Amino acid sequence: MDAGGRGVLTEIRGRRVLLRPFRAEEFDEALSLRREEDRSGAKVLQRAHVVSEEALRRRLALSSTLTKSEILFALEADGKLVGEIQARCSEDALPPGVFELGIEIYDPADRGRGFGTEATGLIATHLFEVEGAHRLQASTEVGNVAMRRLLERLGFSFEGVLRGFMSSVDGPVDHALFGMTLADRSGAS
Residue-wise pLDDT tens digits, 138-188: 999 999 999 999 999 999 999 999 999 988 778 899 999 999 999 998 775
DSSP 126-144: HHHHTS--SEEEEEEETT-
40: pLDDT strictly greater than 50: no
Strands (E), 67-118: 70-77, 80-88, 98-105
| 74 bridge partner residues | 20, 84
| H helices present in the chain, as ranges | 27-35, 53-61, 115-129, 145-153, 182-188
Cα–Cα distance, 55 to 40 (Å, whole number): 27
pTM: 0.84
Closest by Cα among 145, 156, 155, 77 to 114:
77
Closest by Cα among 49, 29, 51, 53 to 106:
29
121: pLDDT strictly greater than 60: yes
What lies within 8 Å, CB to CB, of 172 at 6+ separation is 163, 164, 165, 166
